Structure 1
Amino acid sequence: MRKCIAPLLILSVLLIMPEILCNTLLTSSSDTPTPSSTNRAYGTTNTPNEDRQYGIVRVTGTTHPLPEETIQKVVARRTLEESAHVSIWNWQGLKAVTASARGLDQEHHFANSYLVGFKPFKTKQLWVPLYTLAMNKEYQYDHLQYAGLSDIWQTSRQAYYQKRGDCEDHAILLADWLIELGVDARVALGTHNGQGHAWVVAIVENQEYLLEATSKRRQTSWQAMPLAALAEGYEVEFQFNRHFFWAKKSSAPTRKYRGNHWIKKSQFVRS
């Protein structure tokens, strides 16, 4: 199994988060968003059918939404090294309300926006998306694919047409495709065996399944998918789908992706 591994940027005051989320300053102000972790790096490519990713985030418990333009202004003041990782953002005194990452267009976008509503083809078999990923998409670290840059995110559409990608690229495509098939699917961010990672949780018939999007085993049965409660080594911190972003209430580990120990922090509204 592959993991997302990116260099860490140590800031003067930081909170150690899972490596996929890197390290962060956790100060906040009333109107200026503060990054709860630093961003990832970028690359450029030509991909078909560019999807609009811009939008705002409506944060639970606040009166003012967080626009993407605001986080881009903050990111623009950083060095390339400082903007080389995913950001978890604070807003109006609330911590970890959403995440952003740099995409192929060299700009930061909210995590939800990378799920663009893409379905490569129709299928009634829920195992087909994972099987297709195993067949067609090659795992590759971003720094090898993008001339040493530590990390970027591909949208679900880009992830299908790009031959290579790392864990979040696989997870974004898989989750978005399953959503199109009517499944409650989410991208989970956290660690696996202590290393930063992204995977998918899918809720089918009130059961939670953990889907390892980077797995290259060609499973041809949904019954072969592991129950999330039995999956060892995974420590989730955040999860998101097209519209919502969740964070755990505490640092206590969990294998359950629903319940009172999760807080729905925000809603993404695409413009």
Structure 2
Amino acid sequence: MRKWFPAILILSLALIAPELIRRACNLEPRAENPLAGPLSDNLRTFDGSSTASVKDSQGGIVRVVGTQHPLAEETIQKVVDRRSLEESAHISVWNWQGIESVTASARGLDQQHHFASSYLVGFKPFKTRQLWVPLYTLAINKEYQYDHLQYAGLADIWQTSRQAYYQKRGDCEDHAILLADWLIELGVDARVALGTHKGQGHAWVVAILNNQEYLLEATSKRRKTSWQAMPLAALAEGYDAEFQFNRHFFWAKSNPAPTRQYRGNHWIKKSQFIRG
């Protein structure tokens, strides 16, 4: 969990002005770049094999509410390509045709920026009728590790839900992406929330069941607990979400006031992701 520092990057490409969500307690970027190929070439799965073969199709476009022209992945990639590897290894929140915060993108293991929703690839490791099983499986099998320790000082590298299952280590986004996608496959309205927890940058999962909102801490490594107990979001202290996304939609909060509610007029559906 790290602090998020938004900063506007002014670019000459028309109609685009992305915000880089920066984090404070990362290591300083290294001057050299030891990662010549895809980042997945440098990682190992649970059984020790390379993750290079664990790939997903993530291309697509984003249809922004209030505009007639979609935002294409190729468009944001042109902007990202102008940055250094270290500079582009941050989550970017994008403005499009005068509308703020329409979607977010992050660098994946293939070294390309992809829209946030594209990381939810429709992956279900195995079938289960118990909704607590995915959370328990993450706690037992996936180790928490900061991205800058795993990717040679790079701040934020995202894994798809499939990659997150097979890759032994990952940070809060990787845990949340896998958990949300797995729950969606089980028929749950689940979303990844991006924001802060007690002032530190964080990602977690919100699940909506029987008109109730539950906050699931995907990075929890607790052992002695009742895993079948799902905590109500309204009772979860210290969480302040700025954005939410699932496989199809991206939401932004309409005002900066903290909230424990993940539905309502204070959330604006900004865009829809359409996979290519």
- Settle same-fold status: TM greater than 0.5: yes
Separation in structure 2 between the aligned mates of residue 26 and residue 94 of structure 1, nearest angstrom = 16
1:130 partner letter: L
Question: For residues 100-137 of structure 1, what are the alpha-carbon distances to aligned partners after superposition, in whole Å with 9 as ceiling and x for unaligned?
Answer: 00000000000000000000000000000000000100
Aligned position for 2:271: 266
Preserved contact between residue 125 and residue 165 of structure 2 (Cα < 8 Å): yes
Q: Would you say how many aligned residue pairs link Structure 1 and Structure 2? A: 253
Partner of 1:95: 100
What TM-score does the superposition give when structure 1 sets the normalisation length? 0.88
Cα shift readout 1:19-43 (whole Å, capped 9, x = no counterpart): 1xx3221769995322122579983
For residue 23 of structure 1, what is the aligned residue in structure 2? 6
Please name the residue that 1:256 is paired with.
Answer: 261
How far apart, in 1, do the equivalents of 2:9 and 2:212 lie?
Answer: 35
Q: Give the letter aligned to residue 184 of structure 2.
A: I
Q: 1:264 to 1:28 in 2, by over 3 A?
A: farther
Instruction: Identify the residue that residue 181 of structure 1 maps to in structure 2.
Output: 186
Pairwise CA distance, 1:49: 4.2
1:251 match: secondary structure = coil
Distance 1:102 1:150 in 2: 10
Q: Deviations over 1:32-89 (max 9, x none)?
A: 3221225799833343442100000000000100000000000011123321210000
- Picking from 66, 73, 82, the partner of 1:77 is 82
Superposition map of 1:90-239 within 5 A: 90-218=95-223, 219-222=225-228, 224-239=229-244
Give the distance between the partners of 2:142 and 2:181, measured in 1 at CA. Answer: 16
Corresponding residue for 1:32? 15
How far off is 1:227 after superposition?
0.4
Instruction: Point out where structure 2 has 5 or more consecutive residues left out of the alignment.
Output: 24-28, 30-37, 42-49
Mapped contact 1:33–1:70 kept (Cα < 8 A): no
Which secondary structure does the structure 2 equivalent of 1:147 belong to?
coil
Question: Do 2:147 and 2:157's aligned partners in 1 also have CA atoms closer than 8 Å?
Answer: yes
Q: CA deviation at 1:151?
A: 1.9
Could you tell me how far apart the structure 1 residues matched to 2:239 and 2:186 are?
25
Would the aligned equivalents of 2:15 and 2:98 in 1 still touch at CA under 8 Å?
no
Task: Report SS of the residue matched to 1:112.
Answer: helix
| 1:192-247 C-alpha deviation (Å, 9 max, x unpaired) | 0000000000001111000000001245543x121000000001000000000000
Report the AA paired with residue 163 of structure 1. Answer: K
Provide, for residues 156-200 of structure 1, a one-character-per-residue CA deviation record: whole Å limited to 9, x for no partner: 000000000000000000000000000000000000000000000
Q: Secondary structure at the match of 1:44?
A: helix
SS in 2 for 1:37: strand
* Matched residue, 1:43: 39
Are the equivalent residues in 2 in contact too, given 1:36–1:95 (CA < 8 A)? no
Looking at structure 2, the residues matched to 248 and 150 of structure 1 have their Cα atoms a distance apart, in angstroms, of: 24
Identity rate, percent: 76
What TM-score results when the alignment is normalised by the length of structure 2? 0.87
Contact map agreement 2:250 2:271 (CA 8 A) in 1? yes
Q: Residues of 1 paired with 2:158 and 2:183: CA distance?
A: 19
Structure 1 distance, partners of 2:226, 2:128, is: 13
Q: 1:38, 1:86 within 8 Å by CA — same for their partners in 2?
A: yes
SS of structure 2 residue aligned to 1:81: helix
2-side partners of 1:107 and 1:30: how far apart?
18
Specify whether residues 80 and 28 from structure 1 end up closer, same or farther in structure 2 by C-alpha distance, changes over 3 A only.
closer
How big is the alpha-carbon RMSD for the aligned residues of Structure 1 and Structure 2? 2.0
